[in-house]
Amino acid sequence: MNAASSRHLQRRLQLAFGVIVTVCTLALLYYVAQARQHVGADYTAMVTDVVRAQQDPVQLRQALESLVDGAAPPPLERLEALLWRIPRRIESLRRQLHRSDLAAEDYASLLEELERAADRLPVLEATVARWGQNAPEARSTEALLAQGLAVESDLAWAYSELNERLHQASADQRRLMERLTLAVGMLLALLVFAVGAVMLMLLRLHQQREAMRHQSRVDALTGLANRRRLQEAAEEAFARRQRHPSPLGLILLDLDHFKTINDAYGHPVGDGVLASFAATLQHQVRRGDIVARMGGEEFAILMPESDLEAGRLLAERIRLATRAMRLSGQAAGHRLTVSIGVAEAWDDEGFDGLYRRADQGLYHAKARGRDRIEAASTPRLSQAAKS
């Protein structure tokens, strides 16, 4: 029962530990997946916008050169679209940078450079507008190129620097998230270790408690049940008889002249004889019978589903087996005998009454010469004797 209880608790703790490990593992995997998906997402979006914006100065230079070279048709509409789009890109990037985790000092100078380029755009727009007029004197190639290349240079440098810094910030954030992921994994591992340690401690405490409980109900010398365990088993048996009436027998046994063995050969030899006798009893009884050492050389057998006659038969087998025992060592020449009292429970009595009558039978067996069996009377026999 002790081992079965410990195995049952161990299986439950192992199942609980497995569930905890599984949940922690799934939580860590989910965290890693989400971290990889979302880490640097803001920077990735800004880098994408910056890469698109980097095409603006390139397209501006190409459009200006085409216009100055007299391309047909003149790329005036493309220039106007670029000049309209560039300040809006700069404003969008400015808002994204303010919302990001970047320190303001990391991008303030670049924003100033972009804003200076945006401040030049109205002048460039005016020059492009005059260029579109039909009057040749309204066109100024030098002014158009100078203004356009200044804007293009400022934009190209600022976008290039901003792109590099955003990539660096994204890489830094990924490294930080990797460290955080490692820290979270270590915390979960510590949690699992702590839970496992607590569960192991609970299992050890349960095993120790069951071991102590087992020891409190078992005779240390013979390994049989002790008086306390016999009392518990008897209470359980009498409780079952109340629900389902059935016979219940009790045998009390006492080794004859056992004191002479201790006196002649010493207590270690006597302990060996008791252990051998206990093994003989265990060999004779049924699986459901409870064999107990009551103390000293006195033993008891509780026999569920056994009447007085079955008790007598078992007692006789034990008496003969005891006489046939071959002792070892210094006590090899000694022959054991046992006195036995047998009783069957009455309908209206408890264990104390049953024990008292079996003890009376044992007393009579001792008084009438030992190495014999005396059975206590049944209610039917008692009533017949009175009449």
The CATH code that applies to domain 227-386 is 3.30.70.270
Q: Residue 80: name the closest of 149, 119, 126, 114 by CA.
A: 126
Please list the ranges in the chain whose pLDDT falls under 70: 1-6, 9, 31, 34-42, 71-72, 74, 132-140, 210-211, 214-215, 377-387
pLDDT of residue 386: 44
114: nearest Cα among 57, 161, 167, 154: 154
Q: Which of 77, 178, 235, 297 is catalytic?
A: 297
User: pLDDT tens digits for 303-321?
Assistant: 999 999 999 999 999 999 9
236 is catalytic: no
Report yes or no: 60 and 152 within 8 Å, Cβ to Cβ: yes
pLDDT in tens, 99-149: 877 788 877 888 888 888 888 888 888 877 777 665 455 566 777 778 888
Two tokens, residue 353: 């009454």
Q: What is the pLDDT of residue 247?
A: 94
pLDDT for position 69: 78
Neighbours of 38 (CB within 10 A): 10
In the chain, the amino acid numbered 135 is A
Domain boundaries in the chain? 14-193, 227-386
DSSP string, 90-127: HHHHHHHHHHSSS-HHHHHHHHHHHHHHHHHHHHHHHH
Q: Per the structure block, which two tokens stand in for 252?
A: 């009390």
DSSP characters over 205-223: HHHHHHHHHHHTTB-TTT-
pLDDT on residue 129: 78
CATH fold of the domain at 14-193: Four Helix Bundle (Hemerythrin (Met), subunit A) (1.20.120)
Helices (H), the chain: 2-38, 41-53, 55-68, 76-99, 104-131, 141-215, 227-243, 258-265, 267-284, 308-323, 351-367, 379-386
For 290, the enclosing helix (H) or strand (E) is strand 290-295
- Sign of the Cα torsion 121, 123, 129, 132 reads negative
**Is the backbone peptide bond immediately before 379 cis, with ω within 30 degrees of 0?**
no
8 A C-beta contact, residue 370 and residue 337: yes
pTM of the shown model:
0.53
Tell me how far apart the alpha carbons of residues 50 and 94 are, in angstroms, rounded to a whole number: 11
